Chain A
């Protein structure tokens, strides 16, 4: 058995994207019982600097397709390279990060190979399927997150999935393998460059909610951008990061990069404190595995309380200033 992983680099840091590491670890976990192989593929002009991490999570081989013009993302050229490589390696499964790049190149490949592709999987496992032997079961939220669907593509090879960053947990245990990198030069004539890249525009630095132990999150109930300052003050007092619901993002209270949930970041902090968030299914999809959940909401029937450990039924504008005061007193002795 063999699983192939599309490896991506953060162009700003030159390091691996977290999702690439998470997928390598997941693939190893899938392949280990069958003595299967985990193979990474990176297309670009320069490998990420820290590829050793991939091997420490159980990758067997990393294949690098090298050409200086591939520093830009020419999706069709990427597709042509990956397709050839998939035909050569003949993997059972191919995993992509559900990144802007992965979500463009994976459907191109699935179309030309006529194979099944399941987007935004939250669980992957291998099991028997009728007379087809072992296949990949792909679980994903559907219908706006109100149901979980298990998708299979039993008749075509390879089965392909995309997975969002942060969804697959990194295991504690590492499985160090010997580093093995195979590099191939690409003849540009084989590619298909139709795009001219005129300009690269920097984006504001992304907040990385996954790196914090404590997250303070606000929703529509916070009411305004000004009120959100209260959350930032509390976060400062606790050394926490601030996130929010999609309603908070859509209302312009906070930046999109701080959205938590099915279509935002998936977080698992030790402590999650929410203010004015009702607790929709889509929001919970991004935070319900937090260690401890605290909710402040004016509505005692808000579903967020169903998954909370502690709660207060009160206006957040009243609660936060008192919290900050007690916190400061307590922390300072």
Chain B
């Protein structure tokens, strides 16, 4: 067990959607939403760091996204990641999960040997839970999803608990392997103050070539950014053109008003309400 790659995404905080975030025409005003570290990717990173604490493994975090996503990569450094890479290119825009997984899988291959890839179970902007398995398929490695517990790890094998719908399973597998991690698995650690001081001013570095990648590895003041050209990707497989699924239309959810009857907030009101319930009760029982 030497090298771990963590997949992390910056997402709009859909848990804090307010009236202001919805535009008049019913679409979402992304700019009005704070961007956060996808919650379950923090669990994936925490699992990687806890393995690093035990075994000394090296932890690399990669994220595909716009330059702003550097924020979560810096956060990863503060938490204890060894290396971080931003995978960024205008041509990645509009990627569905298939196009995303192509880019991430190619980036992982570009970065060289690895033993373990950790992803979050799902990203809260889409809740699809597809990118992890799709990356595993493209790398041709084993996958176990819905990991709620890291049970054991040694040189050659890892043992985890997988959360099923009816039962959970304790599974052991050899490397290489991809796991998708749920929020039951651990509590992500806080950023480390010393590391924050050290990496606070780190910033993106573009035009990374194969020759100078190693040089950037040594100097963590810069966060290497890899583009379509750097990774030698097929543009037809990236972004919108590489995405079989297309958004045909979107519609904001319209609230249908009921014919509401409010009862008085006193004993009489409750009694009337109970009478109504009894009527229904008689019907359904």
Q: Which residues of A contact B (CB under 8 A)?
A: 10-12, 72-73, 75-76, 79, 99-101, 103-108, 110-112, 114-120, 137, 141-156, 194-203, 206, 213-214, 238-239, 263, 270-271, 273, 281, 288, 291-294, 300, 303, 305-314, 319, 322-323, 326-327, 330-331
Contacts and interface: CB of A to CB of B under 8 A. Distances in A.
Chain A binding surface, main DSSP class: mixed
B124 interface: yes
Contact of B137 (A112, A115, A120, A143): A112
Interface in B24-64: 26-28
Given A150-B249, A195-B172, 11 more contacts: A12-B166, A103-B130, A107-B131, A119-B127, A147-B253, A153-B245, A201-B169, A270-B283, A310-B261, A310-B276, A327-B277
B269 interface: yes
Contacts of A156: 244
B265 A116 contact: no
Interface in B229-285: 243-253, 255-265, 267, 269-271, 273-278, 280-281, 283-285
B262 A319 contact: no
A209 to B, nearest CB: 15
Given A100-B163, A104-B145, A197 B130 contact: no
Residue of B12, B244, B267, B276 contacting most chain A CB atoms (<10 Å): B244
Contacts of A313: 262, 265
Chain B binding surface, main DSSP class: mixed
B129 interface: yes
Contact of A100 (B96, B146, B270): B146
A149 B250 contact: yes
A270 B284 contact: yes
A331 B280 CA distance: 12
B133 interface: yes
A312 B145 contact: no
A254 to B, nearest CB: 16
Given A116-B245, A309-B258, A309-B259, A194 B271 contact: no
Contacts of A293: 258
Given A153-B244, A311-B260, A331-B278, A201 B273 contact: no
Given A108-B134, A114-B244, A148-B250, A312 B280 contact: no
Interface of B: 12, 14-15, 17, 21-22, 26-28, 96-98, 101, 124-134, 136-138, 142-146, 159, 161, 163-174, 177, 243-253, 255-265, 267, 269-271, 273-278, 280-281, 283-285
Contacts of B280: 214, 270-271, 291-292
Nearest to B176: A194
Nearest to A155: B244
A73 B28 contact: no
Contacts of B245: 116-118, 151-153
A197 B169 contact: yes
B127 A120 contact: yes
A225 B246 CA distance: 44
Contacts of B177: 194
B207 to A, nearest CB: 31
Contacts of B247: 149-151
Given A100-B145, A146-B17, A150-B247, A117 B97 contact: yes
Given A103-B129, A310-B260, A238 B250 contact: no
Given A99-B165, A104-B143, A197 B258 contact: no
A198 B171 contact: yes
A309 B261 contact: yes
Nearest to A296: B273
B261 to A, nearest CB: 5
Nearest to A149: B250
A261 to B, nearest CB: 12
B246 A146 contact: no
A146 B28 contact: yes
Contacts of A155: 244
Contacts of B252: 146-148
Residue of B163, B169, B251 contacting most chain A CB atoms (<10 Å): B169
22 contacts: A72-B169, A76-B142, A103-B129, A104-B133, A119-B129, A143-B125, A146-B14, A150-B248, A150-B251, A151-B246, A152-B246, A194-B173, A194-B174, A195-B142, A197-B170, A198-B159, A199-B170, A201-B168, A281-B253, A294-B273, A306-B258, A330-B275
